[in-house]
Amino acid sequence: MAPLLSMHGIDKRFAGIPALRSAELVVERGEVHALIGQNGAGKSTMIKILTGYYRKDAGEILFDGKPVEFSSPQDAQRSGISTIYQEINLVPYRSVTENICLGREKRRFGLLDWSAMHEEARALLARFKIGIDVRRPLMAYPTAVQQMIAIARAIGFEAKLVIMDEPTSSLDEREVGVLFGVIRQLKEAGVSVIFVSHKLDELYAVCDRVTIMRDGRTVQVAPMTQLSRLDLVTSMLGRELSQVLHEGHGMADAAGEAREHVLKVQNLSVGRKVSDVSFDVRPGEIVGLAGLLGAGRTESVRAVFGADRPDAGTIDFARRENAIATPSDAIRAGMGFCSEDRKLEGIIPDMSVRENLTLALMPQLARRGIVNEARSREIVDRFIKRLGIRCTGPEQRIRELSGGNQQKVLLARWLCMNPKLLILDEPTRGIDVGAKAEILSLIRELAGQGLGVLMISSELEEVVEAASRIFVLRDGRTAAELRGDAVNEQSVMTAMAHGHESAREAAHG
Amino acid sequence: MNSIPLKLFQGTGRYGVLLALFALILFGWVRYENFLGAFNVLSVLRYNSMFALVALGMCFVIITGGIDLSVGSTAAFGSVVAALLSPYGVMPGLLGGLAAGLVVGAYNAFIITRLNILPFIATLATMLAASGCALLLANNQSVSVSYETGFVELGQGDFLGFPIPAWIALIAYLLGSLILNFTSLGRSVLAIGGNEDAARLMGLPAQRVKALVYLASGGLAGLSGVILAAQFGAGQPIEGVGWELFAIAAVVVGGTLLTGGVGSVGSTLAGVLLLGLIFNILNFENGLGWISLSAYWQSVIRGAFLLLVVAIQARLSMRAQETA
Amino acid sequence: MADTATTLPPAHGAPRFDVRTILTRYGAWIALALLILVNLAITPNFATWQTLNVNLTQVCAIVIVGVGMTLVIATGGIDLSVGALMAIAGALAPLIFLGKLFLLPHPAIGVALAFIVPVLAAAALGWFNGWLVTRLRIQPIIATLVLFIAGRGIAQVFTNGNLQVFNLPSFQFIGLGRVFGIPFQAVLMIVIVAAAAWMLKRTVFGRQILAIGGNEKAARLSGIPVASVKQRVYLISGLLSGIAGLIVIARNSAADANLVGLGMELDAIAAVAVGGTLLTGGRATVIGTLVGALIIQLVRYTLLANGVPDAAALVAKAAIIVLAVWLQRQGRR
């Protein structure tokens, strides 16, 4: 019998940049299929093409033996493909019943038949062992229950294929157990599931086969049981074991050890994503923060910068403990932070390069509130030169610059403040290769001048090359601290895959 | 989430306004003779039915997360059209005013959903345009209605001892409540306001629903204009100033969230009556002769009420966010 | 490479000289120029001092309020209460200089206080708006709706709804006085516009306003005190409304709380929109607001001077607003 779904040779470009290159995905009937890959590997683009959210540039999709091209997620749903999104896409103020039945209401005499709809919602939720009052608004229930309701909604549509995009990110262990029970039920009923997750344990617990994507291509398809954790991570990150035995470089190590730390974070806990994270940075060293998506890296550094409020733990910066409550406190104390989302949290698109660059410095550039334009221009010119920012001039709007140059402007925004510590969250994301190298060498140069740098990057090669120490986070905890010779891709991957013990083994073995 | 703020939150929305209304009525009944007399009750209902219709449309618009600032001048426009058509009979007047409102509503729907202009600024412009049209059509003066065709009954007449405009408002509210609670259209309206992206992913035709809502708001404003013309015996091109804000206030006092997604037709009616009664009570109070509060106090008190309600809403939603 | 960085040819950043860009960027100026040309051609006695004076005095209050509105909108907010605040300031001033509120030791003090107290009161109410927006996190449109409704009522309660007629040249200088033949209110308007334009461009505060409207999250992460900046912007809007209120009553030699500033919020928002300020915040031009107000006024004047009824001017105004906002959207694609 033909597979339920087969996608072949899928191409997709966004503004000329390829997101998918001849990607493949084949899902058998009644199987749970894992789809994994790094950020930007193309898995969500793949799913969005399948569900009709995007249109493919080339390739073929066969569903249930017939070629299909859905025009919208609703269209896909009508054909039996339901999607559960990572963020709960429900309406918080409306009742549970409505959230389950919206779009396929039951009617009697032309009007909504509430009692039948409540009954249906209750019956559906019972399959998930959830007994709640379906008349109450969705927002009355915890996130985990809301997530289960979203799943129930999707499955209630009599789907042949259910796509789950990181469905467990807001569930606790017991709830994950229930969800897995439901997935097995679905499987028995002949329904296929595409399961997207970054939690390796879960993949092994529930998936039959796995498709691994990288840089828009399908790099490996195999039964789950044939791949070890390390194989998975290696394949995802695209490094061969033989070539990853990188020489850990202890440049700043010897000098760094002696100096007192500029930042020391202990037992930090923030919301659901970070439960016990510790790390530290010394002046003049680059410290890497590694981990799979959802490991709690960004959440940790945001708390350090005062952008989010930590629940517990100590943050010791420049020898003052927990003195930072807001970003302005952090900036005054000598910290800089480049967010991972350049567009949403970094640049001010309608402002010029100059205005963006001097945004944080402005109060210092001013006397009695009036900006000293001459000094501002001088500083901006200096940084444009020093960082090699390519623009028509300081007055060009930043939105017209390429990603790499925007990022340089944001780096300059902090560098002109003479910070003690610079936190960089994915500093090279979405940047072309040339600019990437420039930015990395710049970061190294800065550290050489005594700046402490804390860098998050999903690109392993990058972290290993730049950092003298690496903290690996896993499920909201510090899983390992790697230093010296242990700073190589293999030990980082091992730590991501298994946690502390094995990382040590890898480092020493 | 802690369920206490949530309960409070819903409580203030659904029952707070009813409690306040009840308290106000009780106060009036105890303090003033004839407050609950048929004459007073019926005239309050007759007068406020116009605002009730406008507020009903506004309620739907606000639930989708939008706003319609043009309702006041649309009502004025409707009243002029109705007055001009009143010599031809009750129906031409009624339908003419309604149609005038629907045209304005359709225009709003077009610029908001097709040209993608923010509802706030789009309906602001429409407000000027509708007012201009009303003045042009009426030649800058009020247009007397015909007393021969019985058109004025729509505003001044009674049916089964109950004012006809109040009947019209009552029917509109029953229909509105039915639509909001018992049709998929109504549920779509609520879902779109609550989370437009989610609603889209659920397969709801968001743009079409929004267009319908503005159309309905225009139609109801037109109908309210018909009543205006019939009640005062003339089409009033300069009436309706500030009606939109009165309607918004009534909707908000009724517990409908301005961010959309939550709202109730019944509470909106209670909101209208509450704001209307404040004026009525001021009149009675002055009638007692103890103090002489000018009519101007009514807007101060209305503003204070609005402040109280939004402040409570804001506090509760802030708490809800923190405990979420 | 670093040396050539600043002189590199504009790769993708070159301004594209297509019609759309020109229309969105200079549309307001072009429209104003066209209007003046059309008037020179068809309107009798257009190129006279009198015409200029009439149009300037009509537009002053709108522009002054529009400046505050521009700043508020630049942060991504809106202020509906401006008309009501004008009414309050307009009601307070005569009460003070006519000595109805308290006894005056000297008439000159009365006049001085009649300038200071109403403007400060309006500023304080503006601050209150900002407080609602930043501390209680109420949407600006609702937060300012409170004073929109209550404000005029307060002014009416002060005056009991009565018209206050007066004749006090020293006070009325603000609306009727002339400096070198130019109406003082126009001078005041130009000073305010220039100061605000300068402030928006050259001061830390101005940059912060635009940064908040342009990207509030990024602004916060760059250490900008978002709440305090917003608060001050609403205060300024209130203050300018107060000044505009005084001008209007001085011009009319009468204060009518029912009418002062009625519908002003709409005129001001319209001027801001037509002037090219982005209604979602982040890009603002005070000079544009002046141009926008002049356009709206000139359209009205043109139509009136050529025998078109005032009502039709309203329709024209609506069309201009929709067109301006639509063009703005097109330009951002």
> H or E stretch including C205?
helix C204-214
B15-29 mean pLDDT = 84
User: C146, C162, C259, C266: best mutation site toward chain B, by most B Cβ within 10 Å?
Assistant: C146
Burial class (CB in 10 A: 0-12, 13-18, 19+), A39: middle
What is the SS3 assignment for B69?
coil
Mean pLDDT of chain B: 85
Listed residue (B28, B40, B42) closest to B285, CA to CA: B28
C153 contacts B120? CB cut-off 8 A: no
Burial track A43-61 (b if 16+ CB lie within 10 A, e otherwise) = bbbbbbbbbbbbebeebeb
Backbone angles phi, psi at C322, to 5 degrees: -60, -45
Task: Pick A91's closest partner by Cβ from B1, B178, B194.
Answer: B194
The pLDDT value given to residue C229: 95
Beta-bridge mates of residue A218: A213
Rounded-to-integer distance, Cα B314 and Cα B308, Å: 10
> Are residues B83 and B145 in contact, defined by beta-carbon separation less than 8 angstroms?
yes
How confident is residue B64, by pLDDT bands cut at 50, 70 and 90? Answer: very high
Chain B closest-CA separation from residue C22 CA (Å): 20
Spatial CB neighbours of C160, under 8 Å, sequence gap ≥ 6: B294, B296
In the predicted model, is pLDDT for residue C14 greater than 80? no
pLDDT at B203 over 80: no
pLDDT at B24: 87
Tokens for A211, please give them. 């498709």
3-state secondary structure of A282: coil
- Give contacts of A85 with chain B, Cβ < 8 Å: 201
Q: What residues in A contact B262, CB-CB < 8 Å?
A: 93
Q: How far apart are the first and last CA of chain C?
A: 33
Q: Which DSSP category does A400 fall into?
A: G
Tell me whether residues A349 and C214 touch, CB distance under 8 A: yes
Tell me: pLDDT of B323 over 70. Answer: no
Contacts of C205 in chain A (CB under 8 A): 369
Q: Which two tokens stand for residue A336?
A: 């800089």
The pLDDT tens digits of the residues spanning B165-193 come to 999 999 999 999 999 988 888 888 988 88
Tokens read off for B241: 């100033």
Structure confidence at residue B98 as a pLDDT band (50, 70, 90): very high
B194 to chain A, closest Cα gap in Å: 5
Query: Is A102 in the B-facing interface, judged by CB distances under 8 Å?
Result: yes
Distance separating alpha carbons of residues B108 and B192, to the nearest angstrom: 18
Q: CA A232 to CA C277: how far, in whole Å?
A: 52
CA distance B144 to B83: 6
Q: B191 and A102: CB-CB below 8 Å?
A: yes
Judge whether C287 is closer than 8 Å to chain B, CB to CB: no
Q: What is the pLDDT of residues C60-119, one digit of tens each?
A: 999 999 999 999 999 999 999 999 999 999 999 999 888 777 777 787 888 888 899 999
For residue B198, give the nearest of A77, A89, A110 by CB distance. Answer: A89
Q: Report the residue of chain A nearest C9, measured CA to CA.
A: A392
Nearest of C65, C53, C54, C59 to residue C89 by alpha carbon: C65
Q: Which two tokens stand for residue C226?
A: 């978002």
- What phi, psi does C106 have (nearest 5°)? -160, 140
Which chain A residue lies closest to C210 (C-alpha atoms)? A351
CA-to-CA distance for A99 and A83, rounded, in angstroms? Answer: 15
| Residue of A309, A391, A392 for testing the chain C interface, max C β-carbons within 10 Å | A392
d(CA A103, CA C290): 49
Q: Evaluate whether A350 touches A400 at the Cβ level (below 8 Å).
A: no
Chain B residue with CA closest to C131: the answer is: B311
Mean of pLDDT over chain A = 83
- B76-91: pLDDT as tens digits: 999 999 999 998 988 9
CA distances in angstroms from A79 to A50, A102, A158, C130, listed in the order given: 12, 17, 10, 51
Does the pLDDT value for residue C205 go beyond 90?
A: yes
Mark yes or no for CB contact C282/A348 under 8 Å.
Answer: yes
Asked if A333 and A389 count as a contact pair (C-beta separation under 8 A), the reply is no
Contacts of B201 in chain A (CB under 8 A): 73, 83, 85, 89
Q: Are A489 and A460 in contact (CB under 8 A)?
A: yes
Helix H or strand E encompassing A469: strand A469-474
Amino acid present at B102:
L
pLDDT band at A412 (very low <50, low <70, confident <90, very high): very high
CB distance from B177 to chain A under 8 Å? no
Q: Is the pLDDT of residue A328 over 50?
A: yes
Sign for the pseudo-dihedral over CA of A296, A301, A307, A308: positive
Q: Is the pLDDT of residue C292 over 80?
A: yes
Look at strands A107-108 and A192-196 and give their pairing. Answer: unpaired
Name the neighbours of A, counting chains with at least 3 Cβ pairs within 8 A.
Answer: B, C
b/e map C309-327, b = 16+ CB within 10 Å: eebbbbbbbbebbbebbeb
Residue B2 above 50 pLDDT? no
Evaluate if residue B26 carries a pLDDT over 80. Answer: yes
Least confident of A430-444, B3-17, B102-116, B275-289: B3-17
Distance (Å, whole) CA C157 – CA B51: 24
Q: C12: closest CA among A132, A15, B299?
A: A15
Joined tokens for residue B82: 């109705």
> Are the C-beta atoms of C209 and C233 separated by less than 8 Å?
yes
Q: What is the mean pLDDT of residues A312-324?
A: 85
Query: Residue C239: what pLDDT?
Result: 97
Nearest chain A residue (CA) to B261: A93
Taken as a whole, chain A contains a residue count of 509
Mean pLDDT of A255-273: 78
- CATH (domain of B202): 1.10.3470
Could A305 and C221 be called an inter-chain contact, meaning their C-beta atoms sit closer than 8 Å?
Answer: yes
How many contacts (CB atoms, under 8 Å) link B and C? 146
From chain C, the residues in CB contact with B117 under 8 A are: 322, 325-326, 329
| Chain A residue nearest residue C332, CA to CA | A350
User: Is residue A84 helix, strand or coil?
Assistant: strand
Smallest CA–CA distance, residue C42 to chain B, in Å, is 23
The predicted structure's pLDDT at residue A247: 39
- How much is the pLDDT for B68? 94
Which of A204-208, A341-345, B196-200, B315-319 has the weakest average pLDDT? B315-319
Identify the residue whose tokens are 């990150």.
Answer: A237
Listed by start position, the domains of chain C span 47-262
Q: What is the CA C126 to chain-centroid distance, rounded?
A: 14
Q: Can you name the residues that pair with A60 across neighbouring β-strands?
A: A8
Q: What is the mean pLDDT of residues A467-489?
A: 86
What the block records as the tokens of B305 is: 């009420």
Smallest Cα distance from C284 to chain A, Å: 10
More confident site: C332 or A195: A195
Check CB contact under 8 Å for B310 and C143: yes
Which of C147, C153, C263 has the CB atom closest to B297's CB atom? C153
Mean pLDDT of the region B126-131: 92
The residues that bridge with C170 in the sheet, in sequence order, are: none
CB proximity C188 to B under 8 Å: no
How many domains, in total, are found in chain B?
1
Task: Provide the percentage of residues in chain C whose pLDDT is more than 90.
Answer: 39
C9 backbone dihedrals φ, ψ, rounded to 5° = -60, 145
Q: Does B215 score more than 90 pLDDT?
A: yes
pLDDT of A503 over the 50 cut: no
Angstrom distance (rounded) from CA A238 to CA A460 = 9
Does the pLDDT at position A434 exceed 80? no
Range among A282-296, B230-244, C227-241 rated most confident: C227-241
Give the C-alpha distances (Å, rounded to integers) separating A129 from A85, A111, A158. Answer: 21, 30, 19
Query: B203: which chain A residues are within 8 Å (Cβ-Cβ)?
Result: 72-74, 77, 103
- pLDDT (tens digit, 9 = 90+) per residue, A19-75? 899 999 999 998 999 998 876 688 888 988 998 888 899 999 999 889 999 888 778
Chain A interface test: which of C209, C221, C226 (most A C-beta within 10 Å): C221
Contact partners, residue B258, CB within 8 Å, separation at least 6:
B62, B67, B248, B252, C139, C141, C142
Give chain C positions within 8 Å (CB) of B131: 311, 314
Measured between beta carbons, the chain C residues lying within 8 angstroms of B298 are: 153
Residue pair A456/A425 in contact (Cβ under 8 Å)? The answer is yes
Model confidence pLDDT, tens digit, residues C299-312? 888 888 888 888 88
Strand partners, A25: A7
- Tell me how far apart the alpha carbons of residues B239 and B103 are, in angstroms, rounded to a whole number: 19
* pLDDT for position A241: 45
Among B34-43, C12-21, C115-124, where is mean pLDDT lowest? C12-21
C interface residues, A as partner, C-beta within 8 Å: 1-3, 5-6, 8, 10-14, 202-205, 207-208, 210-211, 214-215, 217-225, 278, 282-283
pLDDT, tens digit (0-9, with 9 covering 90-100), for A11-25: 988 767 788 999 999
Task: Tell me the ipTM for this assembly.
Answer: 0.80
pLDDT(C207) > 80: yes
- Mind telling me how many Å the CA of B245 is from chain C's nearest CA? 8
pLDDT digits (tens, 9 = 90+) for A101-120: 877 777 777 788 888 889 88
C118 Cβ neighbours under 8 A, 6+ residues apart = C88, C89, C90, C92, C93, C96, C242, C245, C246
> Which range of residues forms the domain containing residue B38?
3-323
The angle, 0 to 180 degrees and rounded to 10, between the axes of the packed helices A173-188 and A143-156 is 10
Question: What's the pLDDT score for residue A506?
Answer: 45
pLDDT of A249 above 50: no
Lowest mean pLDDT among A373-382, B5-14, C29-38: B5-14
How big is the CA angle at B209 (ends B264 and B265), to the nearest 5 degrees? Answer: 10
Q: Give counts: helices (H), strands (E), chain A.
A: 21, 24
- Of the candidates A307, A369, A390, which has its C-beta nearest C8's C-beta? A390
Are residues C203 and A360, on separate chains, in Cβ contact within 8 Å? no
For chain A, say whether B23 makes contact (Cβ under 8 Å): no
What number of CA atoms fall less than 13 Å from residue A334's CA on the CB side?
15
Residues 6+ apart with CB under 8 A from C228: C134
Q: How many CB atoms lie within 10 A of CB A14?
A: 11
Asked if C174 and C188 touch (Cβ cutoff 8 Å), the reply is yes
pLDDT at C246: 94
pLDDT at B324 over 70: no
pLDDT at residue number A35: 92
Q: Report d(CA A431, CA A56) in Å as an integer.
A: 24
Q: Is the pLDDT of residue C162 over 70?
A: yes
